[in-house]
């Protein structure tokens, strides 16, 4: 059932939406909920796709070098270390907000570039993306019931 083409499309749309490719997976999730696809499976598939896409952005950042930040953005090494110190202990909360449109991808790449703990990022990112799709599906269902 999960390998049905609608769910596969949702997975890939959600994956792309979590990368630097400008794409919206919410519209597809809305369409699937309206078309009476299983809400829980749809939320799960969208969350997994978006989470894996976000983790790929984190991975791209991890492959980067802090020397690039210094060279291309003219940020001094001391500032980079101060930033690392400021986010220490808050990695999970920061990664929770990678679901935000526009800046979420940048957050994921920067967390990777700063070599933030992968487990904290992974858990925080997953919970944020899950919350996003749960809220989106709930609002869709509520609006549908009022129509």
Q: What percentage of the chain carries pLDDT values higher than 70?
A: 98
SS3 category, 64? coil
CA distance 145 to 147: 6
Please provide the distance, in angstroms rounded to a whole number, between the alpha carbons at the two ends of the chain.
29
**What is the average pLDDT across 32-55?**
96
Does pLDDT of 51 surpass 90? yes
pLDDT for res 62: 94
47 burial level (CB within 10 Å; 0-12, 13-18, 19+): buried
Distance of CA 122 to the CA centre of its chain: 10
CA distance 51 to 91: 16
Per-residue pLDDT tens digits for 24-36: 899 999 999 999 9
pLDDT for res 139: 94
CA distance 59 to 113: 8
Q: How many separate domains does the chain show?
A: 1
Contact 69, 81 (CB under 8 A): no
Does pLDDT of 46 surpass 90? yes
pLDDT for res 53: 96
122 burial level (CB within 10 Å; 0-12, 13-18, 19+): middle
Supply the range of the domain harboring residue 50. 5-146
Per-residue pLDDT tens digits for 101-139: 889 999 999 999 999 999 999 999 999 999 999 999 999
């Amino acid at each position: 059932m999960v390998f049905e083409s609608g769910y596969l499309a949702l997975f890939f749309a959600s994956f792309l939406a979590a990368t630097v490719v400008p794409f919206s997976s919410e519209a597809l999730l809305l369409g699937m909920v309206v078309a009476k696809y299983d809400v829980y499976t749809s939320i799960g598939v969208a969350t997994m796709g978006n989470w894996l896409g976000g983790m790929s952005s984190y991975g791209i950042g991890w492959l980067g070098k802090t020397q690039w930040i210094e060279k291309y953005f003219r940020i001094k090494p001391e500032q980079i270390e101060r930033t690392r110190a400021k986010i220490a202990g808050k990695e999970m909360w920061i990664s929770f907000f990678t679901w935000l449109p526009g800046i979420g991808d940048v957050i994921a790449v920067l967390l990777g570039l700063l070599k933030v703990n992968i487990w904290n990022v992974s858990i925080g990112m997953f919970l944020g993306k899950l919350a996003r799709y749960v809220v989106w599906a709930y609002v869709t269902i509520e609006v549908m019931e009022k129509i």
